[in-house]
Structure 1
Amino acid sequence: MTGALALRLAALALLLAFLFDPAAFAPVFAPLAQHGAPAIYSQASLLDLTVSHLRIVALATAASAVLAITLGILVTRRAGAEFLPLSRAIVNIGQTFPPVAVLAVAAPLVGFGEAPTFIALFVYGLLPIFENTLSGLQQVSPAVMEAARGAGMGPWRRLWEVELPLASPQIFEGVRLSTVIAIGTATIGSTVAAKGLGEVIIAGLLSDNTAFVAQGGLVVGVMAVLIYDAMGAAERLLLRRLGVLAD
């Protein structure tokens, strides 16, 4: 076992231990709680908040990936090339308007809770996946494509058996990046009553309790690192099975 892997496993074990029994870590956070304030957030289960946080991230990232990859494929086809500027304008909306602004617009339209948070994360996650999909597909060697045509492959077969496998490393990297961004950004969902770890951070800020802020921030940060690494490992395994990455 490498040192890096051992460190990640230790971080995962500590994270799970904290989520399942946060009270056991009260002495760790007690120095950050002032004026007799509680050291551990107890208004809601930290485990439940974490699950809700990850669920909205997973749903929004999956929706972003479906649309962004579809658009990336469309604009790299001859028939859809003219839609590239429009597609870029669509996926850039999330970067033009900050998530807080998207929440402010979405909440009056769809109500409070998870819906506006989903919309904000969905819009914000489009750009990394779209640009990586576009870049990956455009970098497929013309010689490889010509060889595929010479082998009698039609357009759809070339897409599924040649282009997407070769572009998949960049596509997966875009999805990983979008996921990590969403994990951090989802904390603002608590401002519109969505369940998540932002609830802990906001409670700490409102009550001037640094212990709560540290708990929410640490859980979000550790999760982002561990999930990014786990997705990378899953990506390498899948690419080996596709024959894109050598063993």
Structure 2
Amino acid sequence: MKGSALIRLLLLVLLVAFLLTPQSFRPVFQPFAANGAPAIYTQSSLLALTLSHLAMVGVATLAAAIVSIGLAVLVTRPAGREFLPLSRSIANIGQTFPPVAVLALAVPVFGFGPIPTLIALFLYGLLPIFENTLTGLTTVPHSVQEAARGVGMTDTQRLISVELPLALPIILAGIRLTAVISLGTATIGSTVAAKTLGEVIIAGLISNNTAFVLQGGLVVALLALFIHQGFTSLEARIGRQAGAMQPAQ
């Protein structure tokens, strides 16, 4: 455990160092830059592209979480159960239309830039969060809900104080999945002039410069690793707290 934590810390230090001083890593990437091509991408700041990439993923994931959790809460209440098929269809839209198709449809309406990418990431991120929230809310032990009713909690109080806290680890797992998938998917946003790390990868593919492709790909991969690990640790911590909330059998 300590060894893996040390490796992650080392990778984080290397990532930060690369983003802050990419030129110092020139000897590492030079062998992959054929025919005298530059070894480090300099058309845009790698740090700025990374921050823009993360911001886009964060905004889209947050929006998807708000909508998906709201829909899941609605369809698990007695008054909203009949809307489950409709809500599931809405959540499935992003899986029905791949992100590239969403970009193709959104660009004529919204123009080039970040908005088409945000729309694609938002739609693609709905389903994992919706399904996980639905699972979390519908698997809260009946005994726990009865205990909450027994102490006089209203439906809203049970939702906020009991159901959502117990379902939170499963909800976070859905948000983690959405964030990690969006992190990789966001690279295609550079095809419609969004500022993402896909710009580095595309530049490398166009110029046949493997060094650029490696730089963009490695940064995205490391970011995905850290986000995945961060959410996993948070899920475990909250899962222990949720377990402590449940009465002993």
After TM superposition, the score normalised by the length of structure 2 is 0.95
Query: Which piece of structure 1 moves more, 193-202 or 29-38?
Result: 29-38
Q: 1:234 corresponds to which residue?
A: 234
Shift of 1:238: 4.7
After TM superposition, the score normalised by the length of structure 1 is 0.96
Q: Give the letter for the 1:25 counterpart.
A: F
Query: CA deviation digits over 1:47-99, x for unaligned, max 9?
Result: 00000000000000000000000000000011000110001111101111110
Quote the Cα distance in structure 1 between the aligned partners of 2:96 and 2:202.
Answer: 25
Quote the Cα distance in structure 2 between the aligned partners of 1:166 and 1:42.
Answer: 47
Matched, 1:244 2:239: no
Q: SS state of the match for residue 38, structure 1? A: coil
Query: CA deviation digits over 1:181-217, x for unaligned, max 9?
Result: 1100000000000001000000001111111001000
Q: 1:22 corresponds to which residue?
A: 22
Q: 1:100 corresponds to which residue?
A: 100
Contact 1:91 1:130 in 2 (8 A): yes
Quote the Cα distance in structure 2 between the aligned partners of 1:165 and 1:10.
Answer: 34
Q: SS state of the match for residue 35, structure 1? A: helix
- Where structure 1 has 5 or more consecutive residues not aligned to the other structure, the ranges are none
Contact 1:201 1:212 in 2 (8 A): yes
Quote the Cα distance in structure 2 between the aligned partners of 1:206 and 1:93.
Answer: 32
Q: 1:80 corresponds to which residue?
A: 80
Shift of 1:142: 1.4
Q: 2:190 corresponds to which residue?
A: 190
Q: 1:6 corresponds to which residue?
A: 6
Matched, 1:137 2:137: yes
Quote the Cα distance in structure 1 between the aligned partners of 2:232 and 2:9.
Answer: 15
Contact 2:169 2:238 in 1 (8 A): no
Matched, 1:214 2:214: yes
Q: SS state of the match for residue 152, structure 1? A: coil
Q: Give the letter for the 1:72 counterpart.
A: A
Quote the Cα distance in structure 1 between the aligned partners of 2:86 and 2:22.
Answer: 48
Q: 1:152 corresponds to which residue?
A: 152
Q: Give the letter for the 1:138 counterpart.
A: T
Contact 1:236 1:245 in 2 (8 A): no
Q: Give the letter for the 1:39 counterpart.
A: A
Contact 2:133 2:174 in 1 (8 A): yes
Q: 1:124 corresponds to which residue?
A: 124
Q: Give the letter for the 1:218 counterpart.
A: L
Quote the Cα distance in structure 2 between the aligned partners of 1:82 and 1:245.
Answer: 31
Shift of 1:237: 4.1
- Where structure 2 has 5 or more consecutive residues not aligned to the other structure, the ranges are 245-249
Q: 2:31 corresponds to which residue?
A: 31
Shift of 1:232: 2.5
Q: 1:50 corresponds to which residue?
A: 50
Aligned residues: 244
Q: Give the letter for the 2:11 counterpart.
A: A
